[in-house]
Structure 1
Amino acid sequence: MVGGNAIRGTRIGAGPTGESERGESAPRRRISYWCANGHEAQPSFSMEAEIPDEWDCPRCGLPGGQDEKNPPAARRTEPYKTHLAYVKERRSDSDGEAILAEALERLRQRREI
């Protein structure tokens, strides 16, 4: 039986896997983003990458901006809508009553047969 302390994906005697095997990493730069709660996030980007204006805070989820004194406002989240709420947006009460009357008439006709 194989020992239970082995690290999966490696073998005994394997050397360290570092930059000598992978090659050098691309040059990077760190950009600071601040959210409305004052949290700072510092993601790193490639020197050639386009830097986004906003970055979501990993601690609280609010959007963060590069201006520490003036962080972006929290996004307005839409409340969850039920199927009935979507139907009510598309149809008026009179439309609903007409559809219900039609369905009831079909049921009555089936019972008579």
Structure 2
Amino acid sequence: MVGGHAIRGTRIGAGPSGEAERGEAAPRRRISYWCANGHESRPSFAVDAETPGEWECPRCGLPAGQDEQNPPAAPRVEPYKSHLAYVRERRSDADGEAILAEALDRIRRRREP
């Protein structure tokens, strides 16, 4: 073989050609799913397989359901919160002032001779 490819004429990942070599394909059915943006996706499932209630929309990534008139709502995305934001949710400004005063008193007592 001079300057050529060993697998000339086939593509990478190509399986054996013909149904006889691969066996019979399982009977399939297509199920429609709709997302909140109105996109329809129709994945195929084996006839005897249990179909999921929700499917991820391949176009926008939102959850999609089988009821076109009532698709699942988009998940609520919480913005990133810092540690300080969580502390402020749990404590009031007065609590923060009291804790700060207590900590400063402790430091001052340690520094006194």
Q: TM-score, normalised by structure 1?
A: 0.62
- Residue 95 of structure 1 is matched in structure 2 by 95
Compared CA separation, residues 49 and 104, structure 1 to 2 (3 A): farther
**Residue 64 in structure 1 maps to residue 64 in structure 2:** yes
- Residue 15 of structure 2 is matched in structure 1 by 17
Aligned residues: 104
Structure 2 residue identity aligned to 1:91: R
Q: Point out the more displaced range, 90-99 or 69-78.
A: 69-78
- Residue 107 of structure 2 is matched in structure 1 by 107
Q: TM-score, normalised by structure 2?
A: 0.62
What percent identity do the matched residue pairs reach? Answer: 70
Compared CA separation, residues 105 and 45, structure 1 to 2 (3 A): farther
In structure 2, how many angstroms separate the alpha carbons of the residues matched to 1:96 and 1:58? 48
Unaligned stretches of 5+ in structure 2? Answer: none
Q: Which runs of 4+ in 1 moved over 4 A?
A: 13-16, 23-27, 109-113
Shift of residue 53, structure 1, vs aligned partner: 1.8
In structure 2, how many angstroms separate the alpha carbons of the residues matched to 1:49 and 1:100? 61
In structure 1, how many angstroms separate the alpha carbons of the residues matched to 2:85 and 2:104? 23
Unaligned stretches of 5+ in structure 1? Answer: 7-11
